[in-house]
Amino acid sequence: MSSSSDSVVVGSWTKQAIELLEHLQDSQAPAIAEASRWSAEAIANGGFVHMFGSGHSRIAVEEMFPRYGSFPGFNPMVELSTTFHTQVVGSNGQRQAMFIERVSGLADAIMANFAFLPTDVMMIFSVSGTSALPVELARIARDRGLRTIAVTSVAHSTASESKTGTKLMDVANLVIDINTPPGDALVTVPGLATPVGPGSTVATVAVVNEIKVQTAEILVSKGIYPPVLTGPMVVGADESTRLFDAAYDDHARRIGRTLAGAGDIREQIRRSGHETMSHN
């Protein structure tokens, strides 16, 4: 058995991940700053930055909110049917999840549940940006007046075939390129034909936390102080509880407005469709 001193790959994933993050910061700083400005505007207006990811892109959505060091105003939107991976095979298996996200029409069913404010933002995570679900969801959000942000790999997407004829990066108003290579994996192991160690998770997590902290700075500059989920070891048990309750209550108020108006939006869409058919 070889020791770590004999390995040619020890530390190589970490080294490449660091280089990836440095390149991300250098190349995507303007796009991240713009996304942060949009986010602060949406949150200050009492609305949401809606966060959607299928597959393992769910990780970035949950990293944004709710977790320690985060604050309300970011609405996590994930579907269990496309993100429940731990059973791998059998019922609720990975084959089904990958199939479902490629099926046209699911985005319409998802978006029928939500009413949006004009200043709301939709941020969609998809490494390839080619599956039907994220592409169609971005198009629907844009058509309903939301500013849309794609967090994707331009290189991976360019090398991939779109399932719908359109790619996420072509639909969104703003693209944040996570700069991961086609296939995502970063490390070539000698003797193994395919690379190992994806980089997209560390890249998207970096993106959401940059947006999170820059959004917080903008909100504070406007005199808005978001309740940040903070552990008792930092602020004491009572203050930690107060912050958690304040954050959850804030989210409940925002999501209540977002869900309550969904019926009206569906009726408007139905009427619009009927009027279009009548004119034809």
What's the rounded Cα separation, in Å, for the pair 225 and 248?
15
Its CATH architecture, for the domain 15-279, is: 3-Layer(aba) Sandwich (3.40)
Q: Please identify which residue in the block is written with the tokens 């808005």.
A: 224
How much is the pTM? 0.90
**pLDDT of 279:** 46
- Give Cβ neighbours of residue 248 (< 8 Å, ≥ 6 apart): 66, 72
What does 170-208 look like in DSSP terms, one character per residue? HH-SEEEE--PPTTSEEEPPTT-SS-EEE-HHHHHHHHH
Strands (E), 101-192: 121-125, 147-152, 174-177, 185-187
Which pLDDT does position 88 carry in this prediction?
A: 87
Position 270 scores a pLDDT of 64
- Work out the average pLDDT over 168-196: 96
Taking CA atoms, 246 is separated from 40, 214, 220, 227, 230, in Å, by: 18, 21, 17, 6, 11
d(CA 138, CA 147): 9
How large is the average pLDDT for residues 97-120? 91
- SS3 state of residue 72: coil
Q: List the chain domain ranges.
A: 15-279
Q: Scan for tokens 């925002």, then name that residue.
A: 254
Mean pLDDT of the chain: 91
Structure confidence by residue, pLDDT tens digits, 207-249: 999 999 999 999 999 999 999 999 999 999 999 999 999 999 9
**Above 80 in pLDDT, residue 48?**
yes
**Three-state SS at 264:** helix
Rounded-to-10 torsion of CA 129, 130, 136, 142: 40
Q: What is the tens place of the pLDDT at every residue in 141-165?
A: 999 999 999 999 999 999 998 878 8
Beta strands 121-125 and 74-77, pairing class: unpaired
Here the tokens at position 196 are 């190992």
pLDDT tops 70 at residue 86: yes
pLDDT of residue 274: 45
On the question of a cis peptide bond just before residue 66, with omega within 30 degrees of 0, the verdict is yes
Asked whether residue 105 carries a pLDDT value surpassing 70, the answer given is: yes
Question: What does the pLDDT read at residue 276?
Answer: 42
